Amino acid sequence: MAASDSSSGNRGGFVFPAPPEYIPEWAEREANSWIGLDEFEILVRAEEITGKRIEITCSLLPESTWGFHIVKGHRAGIFLNRRLPDQWKRFALFHELYHLLEHRKGESFWRRTATPLSSFEHQADLFAWAVALKEWEICWKESSL
């Protein structure tokens, strides 16, 4: 996932995207079962769905790269930019997780389809926003008690 040009803020060279005006129902529905899970619970659930052993690693990446994933056989790795603030690392995690769960045939396959790659990136962003906005809303409500 690369940083977006539509910005709602900039910190440490990162450009943070503004939330979409609308989250589609499919994204909210798919996000519901991921909201509030800790990293271990996310891994367990993702491994059950994909049948792969998944590792999450925070690495020093260029600011233009929030994260990426690699799949090889029965293993998968999600790499997140360690310089991202925690809430944006989580956003990047769910973005990459969506690719891992839903776009399983790989980039070379998707390049041969009639659907532009940007559409798959947009889907992953919408899923990540659906999780993030709900989690941020919950945190805001809990901090306001």
Nearest-CA neighbor of 96 among 138, 43, 51?
A: 43
Mean pLDDT of 51-72: 94
Token pair belonging to 12:
């440490």
| 109 confidence band (pLDDT: 50, 70, 90) | very low
Share of the chain above pLDDT 70, in %: 79
Q: Going by C-beta distance under 8 Å and a sequence separation of 6 or more, which residues neighbour residue 144?
A: none
Q: Is the pLDDT of residue 130 over 60?
A: yes
Full set of structural domains in the chain with CATH: 7-143 (1.10.10)
Do the bridges between strand 67-72 and strand 75-81 make them parallel or antiparallel, or are there none, so unpaired? antiparallel
* 3-state SS, residue 55: strand
Q: Which residues pair with 65 in a beta bridge?
A: 2
Per-residue pLDDT tens digits for 12-27:
678 898 999 999 999 9
